[in-house]
Structure 1
Amino acid sequence: MKVIYSHSFYPVYTSDPAAEAGRIEAVMNALPAGTELIEAEPATEAQIALAHTIEHIEFVRQEGLYDIAALAAGGAIQAARLGLEAPAFGAIRPPGHHASGDSCWGFCYFNNMAVALLTLKDEGLIETAAILDFDLHYGDGNVNILDHSSWVTICNPTSRTRDRYLREVETFIEAHPADIIGISAGFDHHINDWGRLLLTQDYHAMGRMVINSARKNSGGCFAILEGGYNHDVLGQNAAALIDGLSPSS
């Protein structure tokens, strides 16, 4: 699988947990054998403006976070484009699913998923999209930017038991065929992270659900990193998702 990354994601850029030292390294050190690494390229301001107001873009710039946030958004675009041909994963940060068109919170600045999907839509590469956001926290930014669009469907699973959670994901995936499925991959629902619900194998299972649906509907799929803050398990959880998404798995 192709994984988009950059050493520019490694340094600490703020004091929040998503910028903590070692987070990206935890993912990169656990990547399955045969992974192809691709250097992230920043999104253009025009691409970012598909999802955000000029005022919000200037706010992020004034905070001194424009460059790293634009690089993450660009990595998401690359993952989505590659995902049209074969599954891809964006090992990017800052995360993005709490960034709305004109505001942000929760360690997010630009909405990576929204920028990626709106760019593909703007370029005429997709007509429909589905988003599976299995982060512990509700992806309000994804919803605020995209949920009003008739071409996008979004699932933020809410079930409180593992079995029901996985069934909820499966039901959504089966009911919403799309040209591309984007995963907002937050791993903080893991049993050893803040959410204390899912097992590592569950990320593999959800990856299989997504790629099986993509194959069935002749569509694409990709995932981008959102939450996940226990570095001891973050890498293995990301690797499980990547393995589940892999066509040869």
Structure 2
Amino acid sequence: MRWARRENARRRRAHEDAIEAWCLRGIRLQRLRAAAEDHPSIRPALPVDLAHDETVVAVQPSTGLLTVPRHADLPGAQLSAIPPAQPESAPPLPEGSRVTEAGTAVVTDRRVILVGRKHTRQWTYAELSGLTHHPTVPVTLLHGPTGALVAGLRVPRGAAARFRLRLTMAYADATGQRNGVLARLDKAVAANRQTRPPAAVLVSAASAPAYARLTRPVVAAASAALIAVVAFAATIDSDPAHRP
């Protein structure tokens, strides 16, 4: 039956799309887990004063300093570089949030620095209570000792995953939380493996809704009857004997 063929084709396509998304998420998680073991060391070509034993782990140009309304409802700090499985369900940034300054972010093993055109700002990890990576916007929120927001950093979308991982691991190393971050990554990889989309459930003609059960001869007969009625009405309308 045509309905069953079309419905099964639709279900197979939906299953293939789900499998593709599942595979891509698994690849991203495995790459994150592998990259989390790296210990990069970069020499930035920027006028940044570093301690003799301070290590730069990431440099991100085109970073914006984001300001958020004081009483905005924001998520609490959560030290994780795992991308959300359903980012579309996350709330947007509060209305009124805007970038007020742009520059280059420098992430070291002790602090994160924003080198702007006029000012250089820095936030040491000892002064922060945590980080929050927004699920849908390439923004990282920095929380102060009381949990209040002290700054937001917006980076280009294509660089967000790498920047977030480097900042997260640097902060985790500095605060003794590295093992916890790695354990969460391992758990996410294992959980994704257990959530393979099930096979598509195919249907037969018996499952067709009532409107789709009409056979082609019945539809053809109904169409012919409708055409006959229209033709008869047109004939009557054109017959002079039936005109007033």
Range into which the TM-score falls when normalised by the shorter chain = under 0.3
Greater C-alpha radius of gyration: 2
TM-score normalised to structure 2 length = 0.24
Q: TM-score of the superposition, structure 1-length normalised? A: 0.24
* Bigger strand share: 2
